[in-house]
Amino acid sequence: MATEYETFVRDRSRILSGREVVLTLRDLSPGRKKYRGVNVRAVVSRPPRSGEPVLWIRSVVGLKDSKPCSVRIIEELPEAFAAEPYSDFFDVMEKAERR
């Protein structure tokens, strides 16, 4: 498992609610596979909890939050979500959360 990830969000409050959420994480481990994407069900904490990988949140324009979070990955999900092309991806992730 990586020690540092980032994720892009439209609604921070959803991510930081303390409940399980569905996210796409980007692995920030140095090397050839840096920025590899993985879909997960996870819980995000701010301030970060020790022992958990660091998570950086970015906005929809890529602006990085100054304060880090941590992420506890509960399960890895399939590489893509069931939805028609051009569906709103953030809505699709929220729907996946409710399943």
The set of residues, in sequence order, having a beta carbon less than 8 Å from that of 50 and lying 6+ positions away, is none
Q: How far is the CB of 13 from other proteins (least distance, A)?
A: 16
Taking the least distance from each CB to other proteins, the nearer of 11 and 19 is 11
Q: How far is the CB of 93 from other proteins (least distance, A)?
A: 8
Q: How far is the CB of 43 from other proteins (least distance, A)?
A: 19
Taking the least distance from each CB to other proteins, the nearer of 75 and 88 is 88
What is the Cα–Cα distance from 96 to 2, expressed in whole angstroms? 23
Of residues 87, 35, 33, the one with CA closest to residue 58: 35
List interacting residues with other proteins (CB under 8 A): 8, 10, 24, 26, 31-39, 58-64, 79-90, 92
